[in-house]
Amino acid sequence: MLTNELEQLEHSTRELQRKFNDVIAPYRETLWRYCMLLTKSPWDAEDLLQETLLKAYASLAQLFQPLYPKPYLFRIASNTWIDQCRKRSPVQIPLEEEMMKLGSLRTEEVIESMEFLLNTLPPRQVVIVLLIDVFDFTIKEAASLLSTTDATIKSALQRARQCLRSANARSVQQDENPHEQTKIHHAVLNSFVEYYNRRDVEALCSLIDENITEEDGSVFRVYGRDQMVKSCLADWQNEPRVLVSRRQTLWGKDVVVVLHQCEGDEYLHSIMYLSVEDEKIVKWQDYYFSRELLEQASGELQVQLDREKNLFGNS
């Protein structure tokens, strides 16, 4: 009985998820740009985007007030990123009390100075500059998003603008690759590519831990090897199109890139990141539905994006 009730909830939730995706679709690209500016990494931007969407969807039932999609999403993304920064480094730089009369910065000026900005100012001030000088929120709107006063926003904004202008032509020396190299065992990854390309489910399963987790952003999640065999691996084995995989280092991560081959051309179909423990794949992160990340990767890899697929999983 309980199982049937949960299954009914699953179907209802999927329908609500589709409606939610339709509502936020016009704002995804702008939200992705915002996450990219905050994190400076497509992988971290995708994580922040997905966490924001998950929180936005999960919080709807707890809110009893009018909501506007863009401010709602930006508020969650801002607070999530600030919380992440606080966990990494709890020290905050105090705001200047005196306000300075400086005009707004050009968007290009802010973007070019992002490294300096992120290494000089506390996270809250970074968010304020981006909201106002890049994404055109008003001071009043930014204050509402961050649950503070207009005066506090103005003070923080003026300090941030002054620091940016004082940077001039200086550059901040930073590690070009802040991400640790993945611990994927090379033999496992090579075997995965080999088995994937010959569509050998049995051999592929020999690499997969029985308690594996597979997920694709906020679209789906599968627990356990047996369930994978029944669902996504079965679909993949019966896929009529020619799909080939290859290993690729992308933005500091060792990933598997899947290409759709058609009439002599190749198209970017998906990207997979596999976590390995004790010679077994314990987590399978598929970016099949992550449109913004795939578009970014398409340019990086110089491969056209596969347009024959549904990037949001609403089919």
Tens digit of each residue's pLDDT (9 = 90 or more) over 172-224: 333 433 333 344 568 899 999 999 999 999 999 999 988 888 888 766 778 88
Q: What is the pLDDT of residue 8?
A: 72
Mean pLDDT of 23-44: 91
Look at the domain 2-167 and name its fold.
Answer: Butyryl-CoA Dehydrogenase, subunit A; domain 3 (1.20.140)
pLDDT above 90: percentage of residues in the chain: 30
List every span in the chain annotated with CATH 3.10.450.50.
Answer: 186-305
pLDDT at 133: 82
Q: What is the pLDDT of residue 205?
A: 94
Percent of the chain clearing pLDDT 70 (strictly above):
75
pTM, 2 dp:
0.64
Q: Minimal CA–CA distance to 31: which of 70, 65, 80, 60?
A: 70
CB 276 within 8 A of CB 184: yes
Q: How many angstroms separate the CA atoms of 215 and 195, rounded?
A: 20
Beta pairing, strands 208-216 & 304-305:
unpaired
Mean pLDDT rounded to a whole number for the chain: 78
Tokens of 104: 């707004």
Q: Where in the chain is the domain with CATH 1.20.140.160?
A: 2-167
Write out the CATH class of domain 186-305.
alpha beta
Q: Cα(131)–Cα(34) distance, rounded to whole angstroms? A: 8
